[in-house]
Amino acid sequence: MTDARRRYADLHEHLDALRKRKLLLTIDRPVDKDAELHPLVRWQYVGGIEEHERKAFLFTHVVDGRGRKYRFPVAVGAFAGNRAIYGVGMRSPLDQIQERWDRAIARPVAPRVVKKALCQEVVVTGNALKGAGRGLDMLPIPVSTPGFDGAPTLTATNVITRDPETGIQNHGTYRGGLKAPDRLVVRMATRAGGAGGYRHYLKYQKRGARTMPCAIALGCPPCVAFVAPMKLPLDVDEIGVAGAVAGGPINVVRARTVDLLVPAEAEIVIEGLIDTQYLEPEGPFGESHGHVALEEFNMPMRVTAITHRKDAIVASYISQVTPSESSAIKRASYEPMFLSHLRNTLGVRGVKRVTLHERMTALRRIVIVTVEKGTPKTEVWRALLGASSFKADCGKICIAVNDDIDPENSDAIFWAVAFRMDPSRDLQVLSYRSPGHGPGREHEAEREDATLLMDATMKEDLPPLALPKREYMERAKKIWEELGLPKLRPQSPWFGAPTGDWLPAWDEGAKRAAQGRYLDNGRISGKFRRKGLKPETRFRPDDPVLP
């Protein structure tokens, strides 16, 4: 179907490579996508299992909360269940990944347009998109955080939009909450350093367009999937960077119902039109910053087509509280980018390593810069300032240590801070920082944060911790043990509790979602569609001004 000259693996070939390296677990028993699937995989992140022991999972017998069986398998952790899996996807040793990304960003390779594609072996349009078991409802999209999430949510996405002025396409990894067989709601970050797709959305609004064409590719070839969360410079077409990573052009094909080019070897492509006038409540959803993101008004998308391979596999990222697959993808690419920026762009030669703290802090908040012993103080401070300003949403706290301190060991870092830092001379607070990715009203432009040192106590009532409720984790733990998987060593916290900023309405919605009844939630949220709002405007069902 597609050009045989391609120099990259699709998802099927990637899974075969993982299987040969014993990095893939195939689960053939029935697993409930709404209440069991993500909690089962979550155990390898909170069960005391070492990073190198983690695997990719392929579920071949997927059911929902009502017992309905799906014909498509689901892969979780297949892109970056650990760094070794990421290296297989990059087809590169881990110590060479930084150089490959540097070359790819500097010299993109234009894609190759093909007329026939695997991702369009089956085309679903019109009335076939409507009704229970059809359209989006035929896809086994998991509930990511059972007990808290309000719907199955697309996570392993390449959301493709096009700049209406330049024609340049953007690939971004944005979540999409299912609402109806032919409707979902897409969340594109509006914060500083946020989504390229949101910039396109604003341009369509400015031009008076009522809709924005959009395509959501699921299960892309790894080299294509990896560029979507990279936060590349504006107006850089991610598909060209993917081609440079692959060593040759990526095959793309024209979508059937929208004027966009989509990856030819994607497993599934959801085509549609994003409404630029109305917004709809979306969420709750367990976010990668480690808390449940509460309901917000976001972008409704009307589905115009779903195309897929005959043997399609649904890919899903496990995200929420880090470490996770999402953080592993970002860490493997972000850390080399930080190091290259400090050493090559800024010329701070004393920098030996940059480590983004992963567990619970989602990489973005704490940056550890390892410098050689004897590095001049001025160079240490240049490194700290460079690390804190490299990305708008990274580096709230930056700590420089010498190479006798293990940056992966928080106790060692605390020791260095306690005995090697004089707060009167060795500490600075920099104002005027974007709040970045985190719980609360992060999208409000007037809110600011600071860099380097802050009181870390809780200042407000936050949403629940983004882990499945205890009952779902315990249910998944029984399955884990029945499967004879590695012995679990639970690490606190390993489940979420409905405390803090959490309403009974969200609890009831989460229960319905975990029972496979998310369409009921979609009908409820559909009643609250509103005009004249900015995406990510907070929504609370207990707001007295709502009808």
Q: What is the pLDDT at residue 407?
A: 85
**pLDDT averaged per 10 residues in sequence order, the chain, 547 residues:** 75 97 97 97 88 94 95 95 91 83 88 96 97 96 96 96 95 95 94 81 96 98 89 80 94 97 98 97 86 93 98 91 73 78 88 80 80 86 84 81 83 81 83 67 58 46 85 96 92 80 94 96 93 91 68
Phi-psi region of 151 (alpha: psi -120 to 50; beta: other; left: phi over 0): beta
Q: 472 with 514: CB under 8 angstroms?
A: yes
Q: Which of 52, 56, 51 minimizes the C-alpha distance to 24? A: 56
Q: Which of 334, 390, 320 minimizes the C-alpha distance to 363? A: 334
Q: What is the pLDDT at residue 422?
A: 81
Q: What is the pLDDT at residue 193?
A: 62
| Residue-range domain boundaries for the chain | 11-321, 327-451
Q: What is the pLDDT at residue 453?
A: 46
* CATH topology assigned to domain 11-321: Pnp Oxidase; Chain A (2.30.110)
* CATH topology assigned to domain 327-451: UbiD C-terminal domain-like (3.40.1670)
Q: What is the pLDDT at residue 454?
A: 37
Q: Are strands 268-275 and 261-263 parallel, antiparallel or unpaired?
A: unpaired
How distant, in Å, are the alpha carbons of 282, 517, 528 from that of 531?
A: 15, 27, 10
Q: Which of 503, 512, 497 minimizes the C-alpha distance to 543? A: 503
Q: What is the pLDDT at residue 385?
A: 85
Q: What is the pLDDT at residue 1?
A: 47
Q: What is the pLDDT at residue 497?
A: 87
Q: What is the pLDDT at residue 444?
A: 46
How distant, in Å, are the alpha carbons of 153, 175, 273, 289 from that of 299?
A: 14, 11, 10, 21
Q: What is the pLDDT at residue 416?
A: 82
